[in-house]
Amino acid sequence: TISSTAEKVVYLVVFHLSFIMFVWSYGKTIFTSPATPSNEFCLSKADKEQYEKEERPESQQEILRRAAKDLPIYTTTASRAIRYCDRCQLIKPDRCHHCSACDVCVLKMDHHCPWVNNCVGFSNYKFFLLFLMYSLLYCLFVAATVLQYFIKFWTNELPDTHAKFHVLFLFFVAAMFFISILSLFSYHCWLVGKNRSTIETFRAPTFRNGPDKNGFSLGCSKNLREVFGDEKKYWLLPIFTSLGDGCNFPTRLVIMDPEQLAVSSQNEPAKSSVANQSFPTRPLSESQNRLLSGDCQWVETGPEEENVKSGAKKHIIVSLES
């Protein structure tokens, strides 16, 4: 009796705790507004009027290149054009996409989820992951507690005939939801480890040296910290602890062939083309993102070679060691 009472207390505590965390995470996922680009990515009034007057795409791209010259943008379209949203009239930051359902540009957009009637992106991706995890645990807890009655149902040991249907229905619903959510949660855990969004899985972001599906991956440990933050005590709580501002993301280094780099450094036309490059040479400083602290090393070059090498290489070295 004492043990049975203790079991009931533990059961009620676990049940209510899992339910509270499930509802809390679900509510935060629903009611957290998608993060949108800051005003610095909007065109000025003069640039906007000039952009709308221009009819040639080349002239429009030149306007966008001038406007994006000082912005931390390092990805382009597949045709090497500046990513611009005509609907929101702004230059898209890296990993930002326009959601047709929400009709806004969402920072680090993953997908629009009909189950939460909201976009899953930078502002609520952690909440979405916790929602999946706690719903998974909740379904597992329900299925495990009903399992003994489900076994009695099949062995005809359940005395109450009216409860048979309820036991059968509850077990199958919990088991089916558990299997469905498990596959989705496992997929998003894999995405977090690779530092990719669902959109980037199907369409790799394009950097200066071409598409790179692993361009934002810093290693599993740092990828995890980018979503959940530095303080592990807050990882399981649905409070916002993600690193960064959603507009700037550190990237790994992809080195070109040394011979190509040497040829490009001696090529004067190449210098002039790189001089017109609209991308800055360094995306983030250590003070702007804690993921770069301690193990960030810059490639320092001479004043004449810096622009050439920055156009031939990716813009940052980040240690991939966890």
The catalytic residues are 113
Token code pair at residue 155? 């062995």
Q: What is the DSSP letter of 230?
A: S
Q: Give residue 140's identity as a one-letter amino acid code.
A: L
Contact 113, 101 (CB under 8 A): no
Pairwise CA distance, residues 134 & 266, whole Å? 58
Token code pair at residue 67? 């406007």
Q: What is the DSSP letter of 123?
A: T
Cα 277 to chain center, whole Å? 27
Dump the DSSP string for 57-102: HHHHHHHHHHHTTTS----B-TTS---EETTTTEEPPTT-EEETTT
Contact 92, 84 (CB under 8 A): yes
- Cα–Cα separations (whole angstroms), residue 251 to 74, 104, 112, 114, 269: 9, 25, 25, 31, 28
For 301, phi then psi, to 5°, come to -130, 175
Contact 37, 93 (CB under 8 A): yes
